[in-house]
């Protein structure tokens, strides 16, 4: 398999070798297993689990299970992929979100009640939290580190926000140096989380509730003999007349801004207020914000829209690289030990991180094969289809004793490689 998928394997091997030199966690057998694992994920049909992986490679199911007991620094590994697949001149932002993972049975570690966005309700299952990096120029996202959200019963004195903040804290050293902003969903707009992110030298871009408690900042002349006046009335989000008009983003969609005081967050924030008049009989609005009060509202709006790239990462990982397919219940296969608030909590998903890393490697290979100045276009469905076609063609050549040189030089060979591939 490694010889048959040589071009993709060279990219993977180069990055793995670089990581081994830096952290020295894998010997030659470990490098072979991880390289084969990532290549096999791209050609596997059906569920990506230990049994099915062994059907498409020379490694046994037992070998894969044994490898999943070992520790691996996925944050540093993925950081190397991001360096190789992006330009240091491109601005980047960090994004963070969670995804619900369905899980049957009662014995799997971490089973708890989590919000399932697909069904818009709380359900019993697993949850994976992901910190990713988005290239602002190409609008392509790369997963950096995934962690399984803990069962609330394991550590009841800690909140979920404490855990998410810890996840960001252990990932932050591997963020690209140009990352200044963290874009998150409105569920993360809590004082403890925002304060923690600011302590990590990052600014938060997020969304406010429609009933957020805001105050206009008083900027008039202060009276000499009285206490300093801080506020100039409550912000009525249904009435943007006191906000500063910026521009019309598109017909019927207007952007306003202001620097206000958020009572719950206990800090000044920059608003990016979106007023939608495209349905005159039913106008609506959305309120975005940044903790960087000097940031432009246009940039807040643009960066928050890029946050949704993490949803495509979750989608591709679930559909193509086996994010939802793990059938392991063993804690060692699912998690590593880290320190949080003086306690050993099980976090840092090996299996889940393998899914995101395989996706990152596919994007890296697509980036390196890109030619010219055309915009970078990526389709994981096409990558997996082409990888499977290559594997099948090489298998036919090998099993039937055919001449590989003659067949691969045939003018119709490339059309067979691209059979069933989605046109970009």
Give the model's pLDDT for residue 330.
Answer: 56
Domain span at residue 217? 208-294
3-state SS, residue 419? coil
Sequence-ordered list of residues with C-beta below 8 angstroms from that of 216, at least 6 positions apart, any chain: 231, 232, 233, 234, 235, 242, 258, 260, 261
Look up residue 397 and give its two tokens: 């050549």
Give the model's pLDDT for residue 12.
Answer: 52
Give the model's pLDDT for residue 72.
Answer: 77
* Distance of alpha carbon 90 from alpha carbon 179, whole angstroms: 10
Look up residue 387 and give its two tokens: 């990888």
Q: Determine contact, residues 291/267, Cβ cutoff 8 Å.
A: yes
Positive or negative, the CA dihedral 286, 290, 296, 299 is negative
Residue 254 lies in a domain: yes
Instruction: Single out the residue in 294, 317, 344 at which a domain terminates.
Output: 294
pLDDT under 70: residue ranges of the chain: 1-26, 326-350, 371-372, 423-424
Give the model's pLDDT for residue 337.
Answer: 32
Query: pTM of the prediction?
Result: 0.87
Look up residue 394 and give its two tokens: 């090489």
Instruction: Single out the residue in 294, 328, 351 at which a domain terminates.
Output: 294
Give the model's pLDDT for residue 17.
Answer: 61
Q: Determine contact, residues 304/314, Cβ cutoff 8 Å.
A: no
* Residue 205: closest CA among 302, 90, 286, 117: 302
Give the model's pLDDT for residue 251.
Answer: 92
Give the model's pLDDT for residue 344.
Answer: 37
How far separated are the first and last CA of the chain, in Å rounded? 27
Instruction: Single out the residue in 277, 294, 311 at which a domain terminates.
Output: 294
Residue 305 lies in a domain: no
Residue 285 lies in a domain: yes
* Distance of alpha carbon 140 from alpha carbon 134, whole angstroms: 6
Residue 87 lies in a domain: no
Residue 23 lies in a domain: no
* Residue 9: closest CA among 402, 387, 370, 395: 387
Q: How many CB atoms lie within 10 A of CB 202?
A: 20
Residue 266 lies in a domain: yes
| Number of structural domains the chain divides into | 2
Residue 263 lies in a domain: yes
Residue 280 lies in a domain: yes
Q: How many CB atoms lie within 10 A of CB 111?
A: 18
Q: Tokens 């697949």 — which residue?
A: 85
Q: Determine contact, residues 265/281, Cβ cutoff 8 Å.
A: no
């Amino acid at each position: 398999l490694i010889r048959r998928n040589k071009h993709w394997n060279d990219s993977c091997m180069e990055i793995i070798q670089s990581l081994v030199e830096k952290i020295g966690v894998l010997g030659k057998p470990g490098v072979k297993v991880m390289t084969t694992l990532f290549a096999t994920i791209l050609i596997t049909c059906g569920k990506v689990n230990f049994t099915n992986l062994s059907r498409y490679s020379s490694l046994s199911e037992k070998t894969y299970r044994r490898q999943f007991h070992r520790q691996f620094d996925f944050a540093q590994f993925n950081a190397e992929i991001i360096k190789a697949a992006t330009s240091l001149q491109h601005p980047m932002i960090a994004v963070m979100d969670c995804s619900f993972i369905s899980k049957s049975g009662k014995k799997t570690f971490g089973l708890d009640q989590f919000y399932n966005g697909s069904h818009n309700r709380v359900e019993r299952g697993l949850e994976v939290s992901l910190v990713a990096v988005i290239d602002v120029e190409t609008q392509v996202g790369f997963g950096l580190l995934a962690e399984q959200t803990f069962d609330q019963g394991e550590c009841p004195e800690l909140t979920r926000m404490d855990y998410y903040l810890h996840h960001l804290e252990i990932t932050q050293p591997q963020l690209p140096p140009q990352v200044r902003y963290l874009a998150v969903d409105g569920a993360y707009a809590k004082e403890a989380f925002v304060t923690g992110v600011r302590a990590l030298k990052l600014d938060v871009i997020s969304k406010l509730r429609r009933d957020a408690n805001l105050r206009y900042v008083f900027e008039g002349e202060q009276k000499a003999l009285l206490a300093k006046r801080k506020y100039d009335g409550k912000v009525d989000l249904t009435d943007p007349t006191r906000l500063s008009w910026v521009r019309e983003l598109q017909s019927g969609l207007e952007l306003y801004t202001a620097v206000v005081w958020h009572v719950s967050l206990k800090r000044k924030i920059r608003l990016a207020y979106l007023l939608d008049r495209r349905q005159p009989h039913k106008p609506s609005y959305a309120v975005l914000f940044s903790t960087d009060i000097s940031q432009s509202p246009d940039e807040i709006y643009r960066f928050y829209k890029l946050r949704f790239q993490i949803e495509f990462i979750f989608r591709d990982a679930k559909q193509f690289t086996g994010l939802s397919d793990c059938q392991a219940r063993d804690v060692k296969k699912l998690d590593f030990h880290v320190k949080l608030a003086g306690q050993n909590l099980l976090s840092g998903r090996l299996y889940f991180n393998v899914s995101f890393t395989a996706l990152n490697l596919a994007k890296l290979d697509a980036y390196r094969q890109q030619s010219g100045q055309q915009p970078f276009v990526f389709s994981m469905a096409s990558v997996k289809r082409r990888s499977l076609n290559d594997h099948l063609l090489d298998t036919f050549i090998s099993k039937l004793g055919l001449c590989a040189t003659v067949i691969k030089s045939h003018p119709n060979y490339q059309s067979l490689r691209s059979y069933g591939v989605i046109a970009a």
